[in-house]
Structure 1
């Protein structure tokens, strides 16, 4: 009876903390970083599901908002949601924006994210060798740069309102361009793979405040050309879209009317894109 009781308690705890709206997990590869998930009933029943990675902005609190905001989408589309948490001050220096640019000191945030996905794929017995990614604001920074580095990993990328963009410009160095991407990351730009990713770019049409996105000379991420893509988030996203399209990458660009820098008010547009893309993939 004791064994039965113990097994029953373990199963109940697993149902509460590992499935549905999960607890927060530390990343085994680097426990400074964390994640939380929504894991749909289909996965608990042993079926294969797809994966959406949703990346927070500078405040980090949107990690939980995105997990909860995409849960219904995940339920009805058999898709798990993984939300990484890249906290401020990861290196003890108070920095808040390192993850946006992928490389911060000895931290490679793209590799941390891939480690998280691999760890959770093993935990839930899933094949998440390819997944979708969405990010807004700081998460939009991360998402489009991750896409440039790892298009082979993605079946879709939804890039929401990044403050600064990395254009497919082979005449300028990272982060403004991609000239030295091989030297920075040991990864060559793979245009054919990028052309296979379903790409959405989304921003509020009224997202016009630029106090946070202009790079002043002497600031941490300032470099020549840092502000050349435009004076607002919509302008910069249009520049990014043109850069992608010039390279033969199809982009669905949406400016949501009447919306400012509000992450939750673009989610319906993102869900519609992801639902449509999943349907197309599953019909092949």
Structure 2
């Protein structure tokens, strides 16, 4: 695998592998992939922090990347955007990545392998990263936090339609009772509590009809967010909840508080 630092400064590969990168197959699971944005000011001597942004059900990865480019340029960080396609393991599997484990694919480990490759290519700092996701990505983000709290410096979850509680009487993905058997990991609420969390939603994002169509007739998106906030707070996590007035179910509309949240955490990653 080519390290960008090994290419001569005038080599066209430098242009290909900085700013908007191509999509790469994920190491170990080529049915998944990722792209990145590497800021214009990157040099081979840099060891830049990483922001991981996980797409929602619509997989609008390109749009998501474009929205984060100004932040990446302003703060000199690398944005990594995994792509978990529909149909991995089963032709109609739309939601599997959200619960991290479906049809033989461990999506949390796919992301960790992606980060290892990002470290190699761009000399990125991946020990702890910033992690965000909206909707389905918000589901992924808070569940990844439970399994790998030591790998995240802050998590922002936007409008998740389904949530996992730190409840050791409920099986995954409702709770964490069986994570040792399922993932080989016992969730540690004290470790989770050391990671600051932002929960964000649009003020006009009810989502009840969408969730009912998917079989959940019990909660709206604001109710799910409130359940998650209360549970995390009860277990000691510092949770900030933001409702953005006049915004519906929109990653772009809820992005400003996410970027404000991450701006406050960046000094600790430098």
Q: TM-score surpassing 0.5?
A: yes
Unaligned runs of 5+ in 2: 1-6
Task: Deviation per CA, 1:6-32: give whole Å up to 9, x if none.
Answer: x87x94422321101111111122111
Q: Distance in 2 between matches of 1:150 and 1:84?
A: 17
- TM-score computed with the length of structure 2 as normaliser: 0.92
Q: Distance in 2 between matches of 1:141 and 1:58?
A: 10
Residue 269 of structure 1 is matched in structure 2 by 257
TM-aligned CA distance change 1:210 to 1:11, over 3 Å: farther
Q: Distance in 2 between matches of 1:282 and 1:54?
A: 17
Select the residue among 90, 93, 103 that pairs with 2:91: 93
TM alignment of 1:92-111, pairs within 5 A? 92-111=90-109
TM-aligned CA distance change 1:227 to 1:194, over 3 Å: farther
Select the residue among 226, 229, 240 that pairs with 1:238: 226
Q: Distance in 1 between matches of 2:262 and 2:125?
A: 18
Residue 159 of structure 2 is matched in structure 1 by 161
Residue 15 of structure 1 is matched in structure 2 by 14
**Alignment partner of 2:80: what SS?**
strand
* Cα contact 2:179–2:186 (8 A) shared by 1: yes
Residue 52 of structure 1 is matched in structure 2 by 51
Q: Distance in 2 between matches of 1:248 and 1:168?
A: 11
* Cα contact 1:42–1:48 (8 A) shared by 2: no
- How much has 1:277 moved relative to structure 2? 1.4
Q: Distance in 2 between matches of 1:264 and 1:127?
A: 26
Structure 1 outlier segments of 4+, above 3 Å:
none
- How much has 1:59 moved relative to structure 2? 0.9
Residues 1:175 and 2:173 are matched in the alignment: yes
Residue 120 of structure 1 is matched in structure 2 by 118
TM-aligned CA distance change 1:215 to 1:194, over 3 Å: farther
**Alignment partner of 1:130: what SS?**
strand
Q: Distance in 2 between matches of 1:36 and 1:116?
A: 10
- How much has 1:104 moved relative to structure 2? 0.6
- TM-score computed with the length of structure 1 as normaliser: 0.88
**Alignment partner of 1:248: what SS?**
coil
Q: Output the aligned Cα RMSD.
A: 1.8
Select the residue among 135, 143, 146 that pairs with 1:148: 146
- How much has 1:234 moved relative to structure 2? 1.1
TM-aligned CA distance change 1:282 to 1:154, over 3 Å: closer
Instruction: Select the structure of larger CA radius of gyration.
Output: 1
